[in-house]
Structure 1
Amino acid sequence: MLLISRMGLALCILAGATISTLTAQDRPAVRAGAFAQDITPTKFPISSNGNMSDRMARQAHDRLHARCLVLADGSTKLAIVVCDSCMIPRELMDAAKAKAAQKTGIPAGNILISATHSHSCPTVTGVFQSDPDAEYIAFLIDRIAEGIAEAHGRLQPARVGWGSAQEPGQLFNRRWHLKEGVLGENPFGQKVDTVRMNPGYSSPDVTKPAGPVDPEVAILAVQTADGAPLALLANYSLHYVGGVGGEDLSADYFGEFAHRVGRAIKVSGDHPFVGILSNGTSGDVNNVNFSLTAGPKRQPYEQMGLVAEAVAQAAKAAWESVDFQSSAKLAVATREIDLGVRLPSAEDVAAAEARLAAAAGRPLKGAPEIYARETVLLAKYPATVKSLIQAIRIGDLGIASSPCETFTETGLAIKWGSPLKKTFTIELANGYNGYLPTPAQHDLGGYETWRARSSYLARDAEPKIRAAQLELLRQVAAD
């Protein structure tokens, strides 16, 4: 578990005190526009990823959206987009940004696009046995750009603020230490793991969770100039909830939150309002309490409604504490960094090819076969990949981005190390580079570290990304 010394925290507070302050007259006036762009596919069936096997969806239980927020302060414009999707590759996001920049004049580098990580949305990047639909990719690029343009067209004088509340009851670290000798081989035939993801209810073999949770529900609140709610961007570090119908698409609790938070803060029925929930740092956190003897019996969609309501009520409490301002400094900084790839050896590839040859003519079964396919596909990757890191400042609020399924301890380190008064991290933003375990978590092994297209970065990637995030936050704080 991550520990921060009192001295380190004091230094962070002192760093925050160095941020230059402007008088109310000097601060630039804020304008804001928001729009929820429908991105539900128009053709079915369609592949839905998030599982070891592909799942074909035949209808949408609820509409999927790219929820867009555009802010301007007179000299800077930026856009934040949260898409109902499991993960989105950088190439798709870059194409959407380029189209949006053409339509609006917002620099592509000032646009943040992220995925919620719902496991019941159309596949747009290949993972395990799910492959993307080219027609939906083209559709999604256009729809994201159109959503940003629509939000930009709705810019109006606004008031902004930020705050947070706590909702600890929905979060459980899903990686557990097990007693010595309990764990068997990983999919590569190695007996090296000391933790297991999702070990089962009340298992006698578990000892303790392998990491922390972050109960904060952080928000960016936006009102019109006359005080009517315009948008609420929330951030919570929970992987997803699940419990959808077997052939359904669904935005999961992220979409349900968007509906419920407007009711929670009492938005009038005829007033346009956009609720948005971004994923924080939840690569090792889910909604299942494995300390129980058994999980509660729920109907499809019931659990995600309960979670969405709890998070919406926390967001309401945060909203009610916000000190709204009609002016706030905006700043954006981006950096592309090189990260190593854990490529398989020639021997690994040969063994994987032999395993796949033995399974030819039937669907792959079991982790060894599934990871054999991942090994063969990952062998085609370059030795390094370029990852886009971004930081945004909105007044005294900082937002850092990560293109990965980031562990919670990294998110806590970013919050504690940021020079801004309030900071949160949006994961799966501006690309997709798989899981991001810390070096210490790599040593523990487990699913999130197993080499695949879902977990391929070098073990030193997390310190590099975290350092870049903090440096960019310091940069925007000094602007």
Structure 2
Amino acid sequence: MIRCCAMISLTVICLTAAPVRAGELAIGAATVSITPDQPVALSGQMRTRIAREVDSEVTATALALESRGEGATGDQAILISCDLVAIRDGILDKTRQKLSEQLPGFDVSKLVVNATHTHTGPVTREGRYEISEGVMPVADYVEFLTDRLATVAVQAWESRAPGSVGWGLGHAVVAQNRRSLYADGSAQMYGRTNRPNFRGIEGPEDHGVEVLFFWNGDDELIATAVNVACPSQEVEGLSRVNADFWHQVRETLKEKHGEQLHVLGWTGAAGDQSPHLMYRKAAEERMRRLRGLSRLEELARRIVRAWDDAYEGARQEKQTDPVLIHKVVDIELPLRPVTEEDVANVKARIESLSGNPKNAVRIGWHRRVLERYEAQQAGTAEPYRMELHVLRLGDVAIATNDFELFTQFGIQMKSRSPALQTFLIQLAGPGTYVPTAIAAAGGGYSAIIESNVVGAEGGQALTDRTVEVINSLWAE
């Protein structure tokens, strides 16, 4: 079932840097379930999991933006947040194709789709998992998904109406850096912190909760975008469909502000972050039990309290005609080189895993490195091509990337940005990790060659290019 309502009016500009005048902001929003009505394979682990039950529906929420007004430079955008692990190759293109047929007046290059990174959402990439009989084929789910994404985009676009927007900042400890450092210089994701050779946590955390709020012409809150530098993977090992902590966040906010409220979950730069506890575990769990909350409820409680803090400020400064500029830029990023040492290590790992059919997914993960090495040696390897979206909305910047981007890059972008607040939306694409140079030196999952198509050099190039485009929006 799709829920839609009228929403605010905003101004968006594209690629070319033309002068912009603020215009009336028109916004629409809608939400749709993307949960299939049959068993489905789940994405996000190195093993096949089949979901036959639904703990909480996975959904897609669309926000449509359009600038209006005499003399204003009109533009448009639709942003969709999905409870998926990533936006795999082909999903965006297929959705745009369907949308172009249903909304001929909308420029489909202005469509952005991002994932919340739940590990208990359906598989959308062929060939990785073995799908048994009686389970929804991946191709069928992709067709179902892209139909729903196109439909929710249309619903949001057709519900556009004038309104106002506000922005605010709160704080919540949702993520912890999940990479442990040891005395020998090595690092490990979720490595034990009570070992004698534990020396610390590798990188920073970002506890800011950046929030956008949208009201309709009757001053009714109808949409909000919540930006948290943490992937939604608290219950990642389950074999049931689950939207993770975003479900509890959405339900809590709707209980307080009405069923008409549409909530977009935006995951910030958080490739080295997780909601899982790294230290002080017993004390944290004791307090959670004393509050009588599940872990998902505890995380949602923290996010909603931060949202409330942001709301108190934002509602005092509602904007009806903010400048909106939207640039879409195709960029190229250097690949992480595959070394001969990498090749030797990968071959050894494949050998150790061979002979056990349960290791098929992991073996395939390692083998892709050998394929990359062959292309590199043959001179046929091409740079990573990414579609970068950067928006200015009044005093706020919004920028996307395809990756699980380590938080240090996000902190750079926010610190160097001229915007009052900078929202970063990762996983607007396939979602491979992009580590820092320090992380790559420490090794471990998320920072080894198997985990990275783009390495630290590419991460810095992405950071610099994003800041450059943001700066250009404040120079116009």
TM-score range, shorter chain: 0.7 to 0.9
Give the partner amino acid of 1:97. Answer: R
Shift, 1:423, TM fit: 0.9
Shift, 1:441, TM fit: 2.5
Distance 1:343 1:416 in 2: 29
- For residues 222-272 of structure 1, what are the alpha-carbon distances to aligned partners after superposition, in whole Å with 9 as ceiling and x for unaligned? 001121011010100112242368421111012221211233xx3245xx2
Shift, 1:357, TM fit: 7.5
Shift, 1:116, TM fit: 0.4
- Whether the 8 Å CA contact 2:126–2:139 is kept in 1: the answer is no
Task: Classify 1:231/1:351 alpha carbon distance in 2 versus 1 (closer, same or farther; 3 Å).
Answer: closer
Task: Classify 1:250/1:196 alpha carbon distance in 2 versus 1 (closer, same or farther; 3 Å).
Answer: same
Give the TM-score of the pair, scaled to structure 1.
0.83
Task: Classify 1:268/1:358 alpha carbon distance in 2 versus 1 (closer, same or farther; 3 Å).
Answer: closer
Distance 1:350 1:254 in 2: 41
Shift, 1:369, TM fit: 4.6
1:94 and 2:93 correspond:
yes
Query: Within 5 Å, which residues of 2 pair with 1:235-246?
Result: 235-243=227-235, 246=238
1:471 to 448, 452, 468: 468
Shift, 1:478, TM fit: 3.5
Shift, 1:219, TM fit: 0.8
Distance 2:322 2:101 in 1: 26
Report the identity percentage: 24
Distance 1:83 1:296 in 2: 29
Distance 1:440 1:102 in 2: 47
Task: Classify 1:82/1:165 alpha carbon distance in 2 versus 1 (closer, same or farther; 3 Å).
Answer: same
How much is the aligned-residue C-alpha RMSD, in angstroms?
A: 3.1
Shift, 1:87, TM fit: 0.8
1:216 and 2:220 correspond:
no
Distance 2:281 2:127 in 1: 32
Partner of 1:48: 42
Distance 2:51 2:371 in 1: 25
Shift, 1:312, TM fit: 1.4
Partner of 1:274: 262
Query: Within 5 Å, which residues of 2 pair with 1:381-400?
Result: 382-400=381-399
Partner of 1:451: 449
Report the 3-state secondary structure (helix = DSSP H, G, I; strand = E; otherwise coil) of the residue aligned with 1:88.
coil
Distance 2:424 2:78 in 1: 16
Distance 2:42 2:278 in 1: 27
Shift, 1:397, TM fit: 1.0
- Whether the 8 Å CA contact 2:46–2:362 is kept in 1: the answer is no
Distance 1:364 1:137 in 2: 25
Partner of 2:3: none
- Greater Cα shift, 388-397 or 469-478: 469-478
Count of residues paired in the alignment: 437
Report the 3-state secondary structure (helix = DSSP H, G, I; strand = E; otherwise coil) of the residue aligned with 2:102.
helix
Query: Within 5 Å, which residues of 2 pair with 1:106-121?
Result: 106-121=106-121
- Whether the 8 Å CA contact 2:47–2:361 is kept in 1: the answer is no
- For residues 124-174 of structure 1, what are the alpha-carbon distances to aligned partners after superposition, in whole Å with 9 as ceiling and x for unaligned? 13697578811111211111111111001111111111111111x322111
- Greater Cα shift, 243-252 or 52-61: 243-252
2:176 to 164, 172, 185: 172
Distance 2:189 2:466 in 1: 27
1:296 and 2:293 correspond:
no
Task: Classify 1:333/1:244 alpha carbon distance in 2 versus 1 (closer, same or farther; 3 Å).
Answer: closer
1:146 and 2:151 correspond:
yes
Q: Which runs of 5+ in 2 are unaligned?
A: 1-17, 69-73, 132-136, 376-380
Partner of 2:369: 375
2:22 to 21, 27, 44: 27
- Whether the 8 Å CA contact 2:335–2:458 is kept in 1: the answer is no
Query: Within 5 Å, which residues of 2 pair with 1:434-449?
Result: 434-449=432-447
Task: Classify 1:42/1:260 alpha carbon distance in 2 versus 1 (closer, same or farther; 3 Å).
Answer: same
- Whether the 8 Å CA contact 2:120–2:238 is kept in 1: the answer is no
- Greater Cα shift, 195-204 or 416-425: 195-204
Q: Which runs of 5+ in 1 are unaligned?
A: 1-19, 181-192
Partner of 1:313: 305
- Whether the 8 Å CA contact 1:433–1:456 is kept in 2: the answer is no
Report the 3-state secondary structure (helix = DSSP H, G, I; strand = E; otherwise coil) of the residue aligned with 2:253.
helix
Distance 2:396 2:23 in 1: 15
- Whether the 8 Å CA contact 1:201–1:289 is kept in 2: the answer is no
Distance 1:368 1:123 in 2: 16
Distance 1:27 1:387 in 2: 29
Query: Within 5 Å, which residues of 2 pair with 1:328-343?
Result: 328-342=322-336
Distance 2:437 2:348 in 1: 31
- Whether the 8 Å CA contact 1:339–1:458 is kept in 2: the answer is no
Distance 1:435 1:244 in 2: 17
Give the partner amino acid of 1:296. Answer: E
Shift, 1:392, TM fit: 1.1
Distance 1:378 1:123 in 2: 24
Shift, 1:359, TM fit: 5.8
Task: Classify 1:126/1:385 alpha carbon distance in 2 versus 1 (closer, same or farther; 3 Å).
Answer: farther
- Greater Cα shift, 466-475 or 144-153: 466-475
- Whether the 8 Å CA contact 2:180–2:193 is kept in 1: the answer is no
Shift, 1:103, TM fit: 2.6
Shift, 1:440, TM fit: 3.2
Give the partner amino acid of 1:31. Answer: A
Partner of 2:122: 122
- For residues 397-420 of structure 1, what are the alpha-carbon distances to aligned partners after superposition, in whole Å with 9 as ceiling and x for unaligned? 110111100111111111111122
Shift, 1:65, TM fit: 0.9
Report the 3-state secondary structure (helix = DSSP H, G, I; strand = E; otherwise coil) of the residue aligned with 2:24.
coil
Distance 1:238 1:127 in 2: 28
1:426 and 2:425 correspond:
yes
Partner of 1:187: none
2:141 to 105, 119, 136: 136
Partner of 2:320: 326
- Whether the 8 Å CA contact 1:390–1:472 is kept in 2: the answer is no
Shift, 1:446, TM fit: 2.0
Task: Classify 1:477/1:43 alpha carbon distance in 2 versus 1 (closer, same or farther; 3 Å).
Answer: farther
Distance 1:108 1:468 in 2: 23
Task: Classify 1:55/1:42 alpha carbon distance in 2 versus 1 (closer, same or farther; 3 Å).
Answer: same
- Whether the 8 Å CA contact 2:118–2:236 is kept in 1: the answer is no
Partner of 2:5: none
- For residues 191-241 of structure 1, what are the alpha-carbon distances to aligned partners after superposition, in whole Å with 9 as ceiling and x for unaligned? xx6211111253332111111111111011000112101101010011224
Report the 3-state secondary structure (helix = DSSP H, G, I; strand = E; otherwise coil) of the residue aligned with 2:157.
helix
Distance 1:211 1:357 in 2: 33
Query: Within 5 Å, which residues of 2 pair with 1:248-259?
Result: 248-259=240-251
Shift, 1:72, TM fit: 1.1
